Amino acid sequence: MQTLSQLNNGELKGVARLQLSESLTTFPVAIFDLADSLEILDLSNNQLNELPDDLYRLINLRIIFCSNNLFTELPKVLGQCQKLEMIGFKSNQIQTVSSESLPTWTRWLILTDNQITSLPEDFGRLTRVKKLALAGNRLTSLPDSIKQCESLELVRLAANQLTSFPMQILNLPRLAWLAFSGNPFCASRDPHNEFKTVAFRDLALHQVLGQGASGVISLATWKHSEFDFPEEVAVKVFKGEVTSDGYPEDELDACLAVGHHDNLVTPLAKLEETDCSALVMELIPAHYTNLGMPPSLVSCTRDTFTDGLSFSIEKIAHIIKQVDDLVAHFRLRKVSHGDLYAHNVLISEEGHVLFGDFGAASKYENLSVEQQQGIEKIEQRALGFFIGDMLSLCEEKDKESPVYKALESRRLN
């Protein structure tokens, strides 16, 4: 992160990326001195409520992030920026999104956790948009033209006010990752009384094992337990607010709804307190590692992988078979995972996989047969992308094998 002092002193001349977070209330005009080089501007975590009308002077600007500010409308000047393709205004107070504020070449639009009630009727002109994050708003419907956004691959609609499932998105040809829980049309949450309930006072939390959008996972040991649980467990404490995927309560509900499977981290009990909720899970053995890494600014919706990572076709087929079984299990339980990615998969040295992170999961048993089939088709497309990612890691010597060709055929279909 750079400083305002560095900017004003001319020390940042030539930078391609600028990140300032200093409780700014006005846009620093010295940013225009970087117009020849600046491609990524991150002004998140400030107190801004407007951008200058001549922002388009930043002629090379491709990406802008202004999350956690005070904007009440998406600035119209964004639509005049000739190269702008990624826009992130998460956690503001945005109520209005006009057509003028959306560049036709938008590829990534993040408006999570605002107060948006509607999108422009001509939203469908954004035919390049791949990633659309709208969780935690006040949308009651989607514009019919969104069905023209045929590049859309990831859509987050959870925690809105949608009164019916948006049929417009079911035929989008590339849509693979969809979250829609926490809307009025959704099924009610299940209390899952079949799961044991324990209290925080019975546990001692130790080091943090990991964290994501919806909560923090820690190692824990029992101070007291009336149940036959392992001495060491993992505890995920859910954050109380809406996340990029939806409500933490919906994640907990979906996680418990799918039940047991050999390729899922096993939930042991739930914790219910007045100020938060949490889940006690089996501790994942230390030799499990992440199969992939999250998408980058370049890959947008697609996972990234460690340089040099490769597998034999036999190991790839074994991985895919396990994920196949898991997707079938989700379908049986009428739960769409919504985030079927390699970065949500843990893998052992022997090739056993464990799947987790139900932040984008949605129950759909209450929907019509047509809607259920459409949702399952979307989830199947995510599996196809996953297969493609795995085949991209195949050792060169195996790429002519019958197994490789059979999996490649599945990916294409």
In terms of domains, do 269 and 327 share one? Answer: no
Q: For residue 238, what are its two tokens?
A: 């859910």
HEC per residue, 350-392? CCCEEECCCCCCEECCCCCHHHHHHHHHHHHHHHHHHHHHHHC
Residue 105: the pLDDT is 95
User: Is 147 among the domain residues?
Assistant: no
Its domain, for residue 206, covers 196-282
In terms of domains, do 369 and 384 share one? Answer: yes
Last residue of a domain, one of 257, 282, 307: 282
How far is the C-alpha of 192 from the C-alpha of 304, rounded, in Å? 36
pLDDT in tens, 145-159: 999 999 999 999 999
Check whether 236 is labelled as a binding-site residue: yes
Last residue of a domain, one of 282, 313, 328: 282
In terms of domains, do 313 and 383 share one? Answer: yes
pLDDT in tens, 377-411: 999 999 999 999 999 999 999 999 999 999 999 88
Helix, strand, coil abundance in the chain, percent, nearest 5: 25, 20, 55
Last residue of a domain, one of 282, 301, 335: 282
Looking up residue 367, the CATH number of its domain turns out to be 1.10.510.10
In terms of domains, do 206 and 312 share one? Answer: no
Average pLDDT over every residue of 91-115? 97
Residue 232: the pLDDT is 93
In terms of domains, do 225 and 311 share one? Answer: no
Name the pLDDT band for 241 (thresholds 50, 70, 90). Answer: confident
Residue 215: pLDDT above 90?
Answer: no
Average pLDDT over every residue of 285-307? 92
Does the pTM of the predicted model rise above 0.75?
yes
In terms of domains, do 408 and 320 share one? Answer: yes
Please check whether residue 77 is in contact with residue 51, taking contact to mean a CB–CB distance below 8 angstroms.
yes
